[in-house]
Structure 1
Amino acid sequence: MNIFLKDVDSSNYEAVCDLEVFEEQEEYVACNMWSLVESRYNKGHTCKAIYQDDTPVGFLMWVQESPEQVSIWRFMVDKNYQKEGIGSVALKIALEEIMRTPNLKIIEICYNPQNPVAKEFYSRYGFQEVGMDEEDEDMLAQILL
């Protein structure tokens, strides 16, 4: 299985926009199209397509919140490619790339605390829950470097 990340650009943005999760997962995942629009009009956003060989199968977006903090805002794998280990490989690659950010001290992710797999999945990569966000809607988890 050849999994890698590629910048979202004019050659693949439509395929990224067409990626979908299962209906029961939709409440936990933002729309890829909206994420790409958001990244276009705000600074510090990095958008990556997750590829399996020549096929886009997922999407990641992270944001440099400050010189010392990067937050992963979006992470999804298309419903047709879930449960194959793609998300695990993609997150590992993304974290390696994010960790090359100079002066980085914190990598953060947030997720719906009702998401049945998020806590266990992210904790495998070193994320530790630190409490709810300012709106008291999502759980914040961090890796401290």
Structure 2
Amino acid sequence: MDISLEEIDRSNYEAVCDLDVTKEQEAYVACNMWSLVEAHYNPGHTCKAIYHEKTPVGFFMWVQETATKVSIWRFMVDKHHQNKGIGKTALNLAIDAIKTTVGLKEIEICYNPKNPVAKEFYAGFGFQEVGMDDEGEDMLALIKL
């Protein structure tokens, strides 16, 4: 499967903004357009389009929160491209890219604890739950390096 993470620029940002999840998933995923705006105005944010062959099919955003911790804030695969193994391959690519961060000791992800597939999916990559976030809304999980 030809999956890659690509830069988002003027040639593909509209296609990335047009990606969408299923109705049932909308409560768990932020809008890609909002994420791109957020990343533009805040330092330390990295956005990548998930490509299958030459087509954007998903989106990632991660943030260097401290010198030793990067948090994956956004991760989505378009509803027309789900259940094909794209998400697993893309998350492996993202983790590999994040691991190139000098001095990195932790990769964090958070998810809604009511999301029926998130816990098992992320645990399969080595993320271990560490508790709820400060607002008590999202579960935090870490990979310690």
TM-score band, normalised by shorter chain: over 0.9
Letter in 2 for 1:121: F
Letter in 1 for 2:65: E
Distance (whole Å) between structure 1 residues aligned to residue 44 and residue 7 of structure 2? 14
* Aligned equivalent of 1:136: 136
* Aligned equivalent of 1:80: 80
Cα distance, 1:110 vs structure 2: 0.2
Q: Secondary structure at the match of 1:94?
A: helix
Letter in 1 for 2:74: R
Among the aligned pairs, what percent are the same residue?
Answer: 69
Letter in 2 for 1:21: V
Distance (whole Å) between structure 1 residues aligned to residue 87 and residue 68 of structure 2? 25
Distance (whole Å) between structure 2 residues aligned to residue 83 and residue 52 of structure 1? 13
Q: Count how many residue pairs are aligned between Structure 1 and Structure 2.
A: 145
Question: Where does 1:7-18 land on structure 2 (aligned, <5 Å)?
Answer: 7-18=7-18
* Aligned equivalent of 1:21: 21
Distance (whole Å) between structure 1 residues aligned to residue 93 and residue 2 of structure 2? 12
* Aligned equivalent of 1:118: 118
Letter in 1 for 2:60: L
In structure 2, the gaps of 5 or more residues are none
* Aligned equivalent of 2:61: 61
Cα distance, 1:9 vs structure 2: 0.9
Cα distance, 1:129 vs structure 2: 0.1
* Aligned equivalent of 2:3: 3
Letter in 1 for 2:67: P
Letter in 2 for 1:84: K
Question: Where does 1:86-125 land on structure 2 (aligned, <5 Å)?
Answer: 86-125=86-125
In structure 1, the gaps of 5 or more residues are none
Distance (whole Å) between structure 2 residues aligned to residue 72 and residue 46 of structure 1? 9
Cα distance, 1:47 vs structure 2: 0.2
